[in-house]
Amino acid sequence: MEIQLSFSASYHYSDRDDGLTLPVLISHDDRTLQTTAKVDTGADVCLFNNDLGIRLGLKVESGLPITLESLGGPMEAFGHEVVLQTCGMAFPSFVYFAKYPGLQRNLLGRRGWLRQLRIGIVDYDSLICLSRYDE
């Protein structure tokens, strides 16, 4: 069975060994910061480092608490409403910020990012194609 999909944006990511990394704009109130995040289809939620939340003006620990299971053991994080923008597509999103500083990579997970989009990945060409799910 053949399935046809169309996408409104594409991005050529770096062919590094450390994963599929996208540029991300993250906004809260009147602050917008640029960062990068790894596409992680196995992550339940979007997770960002503590410092990013503080620089956005958030009181990180006042958010919705969660304990995430990671390869390094449990990780405490706190959820907040922000606006995420990747590949020119912006949408409100509920994301989590690590309780403690030092998180080495930000993650774009299923809830908060992936469920907002339709994506196609051609890793051989280092290409990701995206459209908003509601388009």
- Would you give the DSSP letter of residue 18? T
Q: Which residues contact 64 (CB under 8 A, 6 or more apart)?
A: 78, 79, 80
How far apart are alpha carbons 30 and 23 in whole angstroms?
A: 20
Model pLDDT for residues 1-15, shown as the tens digit of each residue? 999 889 999 999 998
pTM: 0.93
Question: How many degrees, rounded to 5, is the angle at CA 54 between CA 49 and CA 57?
Answer: 135
Model pLDDT for residues 66-94, shown as the tens digit of each residue? 999 887 789 999 999 999 999 999 999 99
Residue type, 6: S
